[in-house]
Amino acid sequence: MHRIPRHESKCAAFHGHRYAAELTCEAPLDDRGRVIDFGVVKALVGGWIDEHWDHTAILQRDDPEPAIRALAEANARFGRPVYWMDLPPTAECMAAELARVAQELLAPTGVRLVSLRLWETPNGSAEWRLATR
């Protein structure tokens, strides 16, 4: 669940989505002809998503909505603390946040995250791309 503070339409209200993340990684092929086993990506990045974003609220830290604190307290009582973001939890900002986390999680494997697309709905997504020089 999230909400977008100061949104000019219905996204100002608390609501949820059925997110899906699509990652593109690069590295030299291993002796099996692959960049990385998909199960490793799923365990690392998917595991982080399950722990931090699944069945909780993803909210902006300085959201002025009074209900935010009560929601955070309720989630904590149910063992699902809020994931606090410094920026609004838009698909764009969430894609950038997940890319930051995925880069850290994948770094020990030698795999580099090139792009990440976060699908908020089946027909709406945001994409993060590694900056090229």
Residue 11 designated active-site = yes
Residue 120 designated active-site = yes
From the candidates 2, 93, 97, 120, give the one annotated as an active-site residue.
120
Rounded Cα gap, residues 114 and 72, in angstroms: 34
Q: Report CA-CA distances (Å) from 12 to 1, 5, 74.
A: 12, 6, 20
From the candidates 15, 22, 55, 104, give the one annotated as an active-site residue.
55
What stretch of H or E contains 105?
helix 91-106
Cβ count near 71 (within 10 Å)? 18
Residue 25 designated active-site = no
From the candidates 11, 52, 65, 92, give the one annotated as an active-site residue.
11
Among candidate residues 22, 49, 54, the one with its CA nearest the CA of residue 38: 22
Q: Which amino acid is at 73?
A: E
- Give the residue numbers annotated as catalytic, written as ranges: 11, 55, 120
